Copies of this chain bind each other. A is one copy, B any other.
Amino acid sequence: MSDSVQGTAKRIKRLEIQGARNVAIAAKKAMETLASQAEAHSKKDFLRELVKAKEALFASRATEPLMRNALRLIINRVEKTEERNVKKLADIVSEASQQFLADLENSTKKIAEIGARRIKNDHVILTHCHSSTVTNLLKRAKHEGRNFEVICTETRPMFQGQTTAKEMLDLGIKTTFIADSAIRFFMNQVDLVLVGADAITSEGNVINKIGTSMVALAAQESRTPFYVVSELLKFDPATMYGDYEKIEERSPNEVWKNAPKDLVIRNPAFDVTRRDFIHGIICEEGIISPHSITEVMHRKYAWVFEY
């Protein structure tokens, strides 16, 4: 396996590379590099190298469906081609990799376009954590002239809500900032909840930043529509086959530095929002019911189920 793959895997593991999108891009680049330097003499050997690289990159993070789907696409293209020439196979890797990125950018753009239509004047929109897919959507709505407000939760322990708040203010959007514990207090004033996704399961559930499922519960109690804004490739095919989406537990220090000895600090990074709390997933396909996610994936990206 090339240094690039091992190095990338290491950097992902050490959190030097973060964010579903950045991780996916780094991994696909490592694959391109590997492919361009491959010394294999047959397609079979070439594929074996790719698969080994895939496994190393998969192992770098508990679950990272976007990255995994990027690698699945690349390997799928190589397997499916009639081409046997190793150099040309490397070109195919490169093309698949670039197409993945182009598709991803295209998806983000389409999602913003579709989702922005849901924002009306005078809407109050609540969002949790920071999701660039969500902020892109809001940016688009603002650029189209819609006049709305945003409520950002601070999103303990890492305060990613501060990033969201700054982006909103920079766009000239009226922004309110609240502690996570105040979500229910303000929910009756909210017209629409928009959150991102780290992963989508075969049952239609969404894994996202810890606290998202409480936002969903409070939204449901107030009859406030709750939408997930996400590329379909956040779908994790492993959940189809029984795997739980693993919930990463992060350092206790994020929650309390210099905490008393003997104190157990639990710091799960994500939680699960069940499909029945989700009005729709705003994705590149349009707005869909999460209950049909597996069939949507079979129609649009059937190759994710192959590896």
Residues of A within 8 A of B (CB): 113-118, 153-157, 162, 165-166, 169, 174-188, 202-204, 209-211, 213-214, 217-218, 221-224, 239-244, 255-256, 259-260, 262-268, 271, 274-276, 279-280, 282, 285-296, 298-299
Contact = CB atoms under 8 A, between A and B. Distances in A.
Contacts of A187: 223
A224 B218 CA distance: 13
Majority-rule SS of A interface residues: mixed
Contact of A185 (B165, B203, B210, B242): B210
A243 to B, nearest CB: 6
A266 B188 contact: no
A219 to B, nearest CB: 10
Contact of A271 (B162, B185, B267, B274): B185
A214 B294 CA distance: 28
Contact of A217 (B210, B218, B256, B285): B218
A241 B214 CA distance: 28
Nearest to A261: B169
25 contacts: A117-B241, A118-B242, A156-B156, A175-B262, A176-B266, A177-B263, A178-B255, A178-B265, A178-B267, A182-B271, A184-B214, A185-B213, A185-B268, A185-B271, A187-B223, A202-B288, A204-B289, A214-B218, A217-B221, A242-B282, A274-B279, A275-B289, A276-B276, A288-B294, A295-B296
